[in-house]
Every structure is written in structure tokens, then in C-alpha cells.
């Protein structure tokens, strides 16, 4: 049953965003400007078209896709083939139709500690794999060519697009994704350097926006800067609604976790405020939760609904885009800690558990990837 379910998934091909020419040499952004054209409208803006009136819902029982994984963190699809990052081992795994996994390569220099290690993945239009990981001297974003075919994929040599992002065993950020404008968005945690979140010259506590070459795109809110939004503590999920509205999840400290609508150049308040504060100069979240029932990590959008994986809360939340101040709960404590959620090429929702990450209580078969039908 598992093999059949995954085989059906692999038939479809995941859509990707616009890729461009190879990136420049390793280091900080190569230039403060880019020849990439500016998007016709900001990725974070809300278009005039209305949100869907019928939102996607959970429509079936989760079925296992893969089991026995060690601290998986992110899953993406490259030409329909699922690739998974393992935080502590530094390996990137290719999943086969029978649920088995093989390594396509190990990211060199990964310094795994606490929440740090091999984290987010994203796939460019040309098939390159973009990777966020922690090295000894900080977090970095790298671009890897991938060669071979299904069942024999291999990771090539990387080009570093950005390095020196502050890293720590806590508040390490790490989610990356291509937006509808073809730009790469990167979430960074404050890495325990709280004041950096308010410093627009610092890379910590931010959402960054860059071209696939690692340069500053036209249309970024601050000239010559990769910073797209700031005042974040530890954002770990990003997704876009059909109308282009950008959402991000964020770990709070002791009071409130957040769901935010991201606007270019906006200040989300950390560490001055946490949660809904109604303070001039800061953007309030559209929804907040107590950390014990949430700790929102990965997020995906499908059919007018945001789906959010929660760690401490051990629950999948669904949030209608048409009313993002509300939410529903699914699978409460049924599968333990949930790290990531993504939409597979066949339209099913994939959940990634995180019970072997040192903070969970592993169950038989952990860690797992589960496929959930949507209706």
C-alpha cells in the first residue's frame, strides 16, 4: 500500500520557480544590485482577486510514505522525486517508490548542534538544489547541481550564495523557498542575539530575499540589502496564497507564537514586542498561540488553506486564507512532533515528524513521512 501510494505521487512533476544563470563565487552577496527584472508587484502584496470561497480540508487518513528516518527537516520535490534533508547527518536523501531512502550526497562542513545543522531545501527551475545549513562560522545558503536520474541522483559541488548568517543551537531559522516572483526567500533566527533582529544591517532575525544567484533583487525595500522584513525571533515557515500574499510562522519566547502576513520592509517587533501588541511601528500577527500548544515550523498552502506543522503542540493546524485569524486542529498528539508539511505533486499533503531530534519521544517507525489526502 505504501509503495503504491508513493509510486502514484512520483508520477506527477512538482512545479518550480524561475531559475537563472550560475551564482557568483563563495561569500557575501556579490553585488548590491541585480540584473533580474523587478516583479510586477511585490510578492507580499494582496492582489485584487478574492481568496477561494471553499478551502482545502483534510479528507482522509495519513498513510506512511517513509519510516526510520533520523531527524528529517525539509522535504521538496525535484522532477517529482522527493528529496529530504537530515539535520544531524548532513545527508540529502532520495525516496524511492517503496519508501526506501538512498543518500544522493552529504553537505560538507555541516556543524549540527541543537536546532542547527542541515535544514531547509528548495528546488530551482533548472533542477539545482538550494540548501540552508549551519557551518562552523555560521549559517549559509548554497546552490548544488544535481545529476543523474531517478534512483541514481547525485549531489554536485556547491556554490555558496551567502554565508556568515549568525548561527546558534537555538533560534537558527533555516527555511528557504522560492516565491511566486522567482526570488529565493530565507528565514533567519536571531541566534540569541536579540538586538540583531532590529538591526537592518544584521542578517539575524530576518526574512531575506535574493535572486537565484544570491544577489539583491530590484524591488527589495532597503537599497543594497537582502533584508525583506525584520524584527523576527525565529521564523521557520513561509508560504504564499494564490493571490500572492506571503505568510510566515514564527516561534515566540514564552508568551506567543505567531502567524504573520509579510510585507516588504515591515518590522515585526521582536524583541520589543511579542504577539499582538498594537504598538505603532510594528506589524501585529494575524493569529497567535501559546508556545506550549504550537511551536509552528513548516507551512504549506493548498486550495485557500495554510497547513502548519507544530512541534511542541504536536498538531497540524489549518488556517483559511480568507480568515487567517481562525484555525482548525488535526492529528493532535497522534504522530508526535511535526517539523514540516508540503504539498506533493499528486496534491496530497506530506507531514514530516521530528521525534528523533533530541526533544521528542520516538515511537516505532520514527521518524516518518506521512501522506494525507486533501478535499
Task: State pLDDT tens for residues 267-302.
Answer: 999 999 999 999 999 999 999 999 999 999 999 999
- Distance, in Å, from the CA atom of 351 to the CA atom of 340, rounded to the nearest integer, reads 6
Average pLDDT over the chain, rounded to whole?
89
pLDDT at 11: 36
Mean predicted confidence (pLDDT) in 321-341: 98
pTM for the model:
0.87
Are residues 213 and 161 in contact, defined by beta-carbon separation less than 8 angstroms?
yes
Q: How far apart are CA 274 and CA 288, in angstroms?
A: 10
Q: For the beta carbon of residue 200, count every other beta carbon within 10 angstroms.
A: 16
Residue 33 has pLDDT above 60, yes or no: no
Buried (b) or exposed (e) across 9-43, using 16+ Cβ within 10 A? bbeeebebbebbeebeeeeebbeeebebeebeebb
Tell me the percentage of the chain whose pLDDT exceeds 90: 85
In this prediction, residue 298 carries a pLDDT of 98
Q: Phi and psi (nearest 5°) for 247?
A: -115, 150
Q: How far, rounded to the nearest angstrom, does the alpha carbon of residue 188 sit from its chain's CA centroid? A: 11
Residues 162-177, mean pLDDT to the nearest whole number? 98
Buried b (16+ CB within 10 A) or exposed e, 293-317: ebbbbbbbbbebbbbbbbbbbbbbb
Is the pLDDT at 40 greater than 50? The verdict is no
pLDDT tens digits, 54-113: 699 999 999 999 999 999 999 999 999 999 999 999 999 999 999 999 999 999 999 999
pLDDT of residue 211: 98
* Lowest model confidence (mean pLDDT) among 27-36, 41-50, 160-169, 234-243: 27-36
How far is 14 from 345, CA to CA, in rounded Å? 5
Sign of the Cα torsion 287, 289, 293, 296 reads positive
Specify the pLDDT at position 176. 98
Q: What is the pLDDT of residue 49?
A: 38
Backbone angles phi, psi at 9, to 5 degrees: -65, -40
Contact yes or no for 197/204 (Cβ under 8 A): yes
Amino acid at each position: 500500500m505504501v509503495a503504491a501510494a508513493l509510486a502514484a505521487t512520483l508520477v506527477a512533476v512538482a512545479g518550480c520557480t524561475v531559475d537563472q544563470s550560475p551564482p557568483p563565487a563563495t561569500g557575501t552577496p556579490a553585488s548590491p544590485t541585480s540584473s533580474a527584472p523587478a516583479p510586477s508587484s511585490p510578492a507580499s502584496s494582496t492582489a485584487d482577486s478574492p481568496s477561494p470561497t471553499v478551502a482545502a480540508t483534510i479528507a482522509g487518513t495519513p498513510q506512511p510514505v517513509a519510516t526510520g528516518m533520523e531527524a528529517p527537516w525539509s522535504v521538496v520535490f525535484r522532477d517529482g522525486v522527493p528529496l529530504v534533508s537530515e539535520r544531524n547527518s548532513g545527508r540529502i536523501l532520495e525516496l524511492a517508490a517503496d519508501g526506501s531512502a538512498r543518500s544522493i550526497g552529504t553537505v560538507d562542513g555541516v556543524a549540527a548542534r541543537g536546532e542547527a545543522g542541515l535544514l531547509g531545501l528548495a528546488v530551482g527551475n533548472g533542477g539545482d538544489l538550494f540548501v540552508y545549513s549551519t557551518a562552523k562560522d555560521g549559517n549559509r545558503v548554497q546552490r548544488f547541481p544535481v545529476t543523474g536520474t531517478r534512483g541514481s541522483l547525485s549531489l554536485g559541488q556547491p556554490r555558496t550564495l551567502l554565508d556568515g548568517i549568525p548561527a546558534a543551537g537555538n533560534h537558527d531559522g533555516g527555511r528557504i523557498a522560492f516565491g511566486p516572483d522567482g526570488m529565493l526567500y530565507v528565514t533567519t533566527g536571531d541566534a540569541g542575539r536579540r538586538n540583531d533582529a532590529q538591526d537592518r544591517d544584521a542578517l539575524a532575525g530576518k526574512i531575506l530575499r535574493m535572486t537565484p544567484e544570491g544577489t539583491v533583487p530590484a524591488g527589495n525595500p532597503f537599497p543594497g540589502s537582502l533584508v525583506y522584513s525584520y524584527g523576527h525571533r525565529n521564523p521557520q515557515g513561509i508560504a504564499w496564497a494564490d493571490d500572492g500574499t506571503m505568510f510566515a510562522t514564527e516561534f515566540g519566547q514564552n508568551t506567543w507564537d505567531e502567524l504573520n502576513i509579510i510585507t516588504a520592509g515591515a518590522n515585526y517587533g521582536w524583541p520589543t514586542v511579542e504577539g499582538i501588541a498594537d504598538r505603532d511601528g510594528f506589524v501585529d500577527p494575524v493569529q497567535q498561540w501559546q508556545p506550549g500548544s504550537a511551536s509552528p515550523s513548516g507551512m504549506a498552502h493548498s486550495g485557500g488553506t495554510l497547513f502548519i506543522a507544530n512541534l511542541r503542540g504536536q498538531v497540524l493546524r489549518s488556517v483559511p486564507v480568507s480568515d487567517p485569524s481562525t484555525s482548525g486542529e488535526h492529528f493532535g498528539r497522534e504522530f508526535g512532533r511535526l517539523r514540516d508539511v508540503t504539498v506533493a505533486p499528486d496534491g496530497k499533503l506530506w507531514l514530516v515528524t521530528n521525534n528523533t531530534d533530541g526533544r521528542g519521544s520516538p515511537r516505532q517507525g520514527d521518524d516518518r513521512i506521512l501522506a494525507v489526502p486533501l478535499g
